[in-house]
Structure 1
Amino acid sequence: MRIEVIGGGSLGQLFAASAARGGAEVVLYTRTIEQAERIMDSGIQVSEATEHDAWKIRFPSIVARTVDHFSEADGKLRWIVLAVKQKHLNDSLLAKLQSNVRAQDRLFCLQNGVGHIERLMEALPEVPVYAAVTTEGARRIDAASVFHAGKGSTSFGRTASARQQSSVEQVQAEKMLMDAFGSGGLSLTVSNEIENAMYRKLLINAVINPLTALWKIENGALLEKEERITTMRAVFDEIMMIYSAAGIEAPLVWWEELLGVCRATARNRSSMLEDVSRGDQTEAAWISGGVVELARRAGKQAPINQTLLNLIEGLDK
């Protein structure tokens, strides 16, 4: 089995290094040749939040290339981990996937927000597409090192295209993937309710990401002041109202789970905070904007989430 990771950001480095540590054949595709050369030269170093010593994966355990070199594979089972942000899941990348991904390959999608699974299924109707939801906290330190800021878990599930494959083939491929990542230190489980998990993750991201980006704080700092918790609750309650109107099952226990994510990833800087700090475009259009679009479809308004979207996009350069 080969695991090919597209995207050299925080999650891309963490998942690629962990799969290689677990004994899988791993290729990491990066945006720049500088990053690929750095990884080929020195490997990827992973610093753990709860351990004193970092660990490193080097060539030949991991191979790094630029995404321009992404191509068809041989007859091996291939999992393609999409670790790019939604804003980078553009027409150019979709065209490259259409040209080089085979029906026997499998896509494992780590994007935040909503809408990407439908785009990928439309572009690659014969390819099994798996949605993944992770609570792993990761912060990219540089081109060849990542800080594993909070240990979490990852659920992934089959979409309609993946269910067309034989159940035996599915189970075998999923077990091989879980074994590889599990041996490397990442917990993966198969979920039969991945759509519900995606909406839970959307809610968590829609609360944590814009607020940490606007206040310029780490995740755990959201719980340090009553004013921050009150604002979090207001965003949470509006999303819960929208989910109810849209017919999405959303238990109230998600509030306690949201607080738990803040504690578990206390030292993590959200991806939106990282983007704002660098002056990059954020994923607000697919997170806060995704909530606003759900509200529109349900005949509701989302004034708090719309305001957060406006504030974040007002920061985008």
Structure 2
Amino acid sequence: MNIVILGPGAIGSLWAYSLRQQGHNVSLWSHHTTPTLSIQLDNHCQLDFNNRDNSALECADLLLVTLKAPNVEAALMPLRSFVHSDCIITLMHNGMGTAELVERCFPHNPLLLATTTHGAYRPEKNKVLHTGFGTTQIGGYNLSGQRCSFVKDVLDNALSDVFWNDEIETALWNKLAINCAINPVTALYNVNNGALVEEQYQRTLNGISSEVCKVMNAEGIDIQTAQLDQTINQVIRATAANYSSMQQDIAHRRLSEIDFITGYLLNRAAHHGIATPCNQELYQAIKHIEQSWN
């Protein structure tokens, strides 16, 4: 397939390299303007990729978007005239809410949503480390996207295990729920994930999960607070040494994904008339930090 990776950060570079190794014609679209970018995965040989090639974009069968959620719309909008209506657009990032924006900009394209638990880290500009093996779920957001289940096999052959999920939005909601708990709290208090087992954070975490469950139930997802509490605690303990992406963003004064994590939850809560004071307080705290930089 002709594949373009939009946003070749750590995860995007991991997929680019893995897909190239399977014989696909892979190009990158980065904010860097150089015509060629190199990627070395772990200790494997370095591979060169075309970058910002309009002809590659025009011929793309698959556009894999691995940007952070806040950057998706601004990066995709200038590309509309180059992306063919048959090109499959796949969004792979934390948070929710970008699919609605992309569908409005690309109403005729098949649109897929994906979530992955693979870990990747980029210690240098041209090097990426595969730090943790995981799984990827992918599914169709619109009707034409639901007909593109073969993309699962393309991705699975490159970086297993990949599963097609007919209810991908439920999977994304489950991940959003975990992110609502871990990301803003670790960012606000500047701690790693493991610190959240301490007693001082339990009331906040319980308040978050209770509110999230109410919104998920209103969205038609059957989940109980105790079940979500257990899942959140499992993830906290399994990733105890990790720092969340939002903690890293706030620590380095980068725009976080709060609008597409807690912000998305608040929007859906407002739609259903559900009060979410705990999540609202966290959202405002993170936004206050971001706005203070200006």
Cross-structure match for 1:82: 65
Does residue 278 (structure 1) correspond to residue 256 (structure 2)? The answer is no
Does residue 304 (structure 1) correspond to residue 275 (structure 2)? The answer is no
Question: How does the TM-score come out when normalised to structure 1?
Answer: 0.81
Matches of 2:285 and 2:229, distance apart in 1: 24
Cross-structure match for 2:169: 195
Cross-structure match for 1:314: 288
The residue matched to 1:306 in structure 2 has which SS? helix
Cα offset, 1:157, TM superposition = 0.1
Cα offset, 1:299, TM superposition = 0.7
Runs of at least 4 residues off by over 4 Å: 70-75
Matches of 1:33 and 1:299, distance apart in 2: 46
Cα offset, 1:216, TM superposition = 1.9
Question: 2:214 corresponds to which letter in structure 1?
Answer: M
Does residue 104 (structure 1) correspond to residue 86 (structure 2)? The answer is yes
Following superposition of structure 1 onto structure 2, how do residues 43-82 of structure 1 map, counting pairs within 5 Å?
43-45=39-41, 54-60=42-48, 63-65=49-51, 67=52, 69-73=53-57, 78-82=61-65
Equivalent pair of 2:187/2:250 in contact (CA under 8 Å)? yes
Matches of 1:26 and 1:72, distance apart in 2: 9
Closer/same/farther in 2, CA of residues 96 and 236 from structure 1, 3 Å limit: same
Segments of 5+ residues of structure 1 without an aligned counterpart are 46-53
When the two chains are superposed, the root-mean-square deviation of aligned CA atoms in Å is 2.5
Question: How does the TM-score come out when normalised to structure 2?
Answer: 0.87
Segments of 5+ residues of structure 2 without an aligned counterpart are none
Q: Which fold has the larger relative contact order, with Cα–Cα distance below 8 Å and residues 6 or more apart in sequence?
A: 1
The residue matched to 1:3 in structure 2 has which SS? strand
Matches of 1:148 and 1:198, distance apart in 2: 23
Equivalent pair of 2:58/2:83 in contact (CA under 8 Å)? no
Deviation per residue, 1:61-115 (Å, 9 max, x gap): xx152x4x3445576x722110111211234x23333212213221110132222
Identity over aligned residues, as a percent?
28
Deviation per residue, 1:214-256 (Å, 9 max, x gap): 2222333333x23234432221122112222443333453333
2:195 to 210, 221, 231: 221
Matches of 2:236 and 2:55, distance apart in 1: 39
Deviation per residue, 1:247-301 (Å, 9 max, x gap): 3333453333333333443443222112112211111111111111111111122
Cross-structure match for 2:116: 134
Equivalent pair of 2:214/2:274 in contact (CA under 8 Å)? no
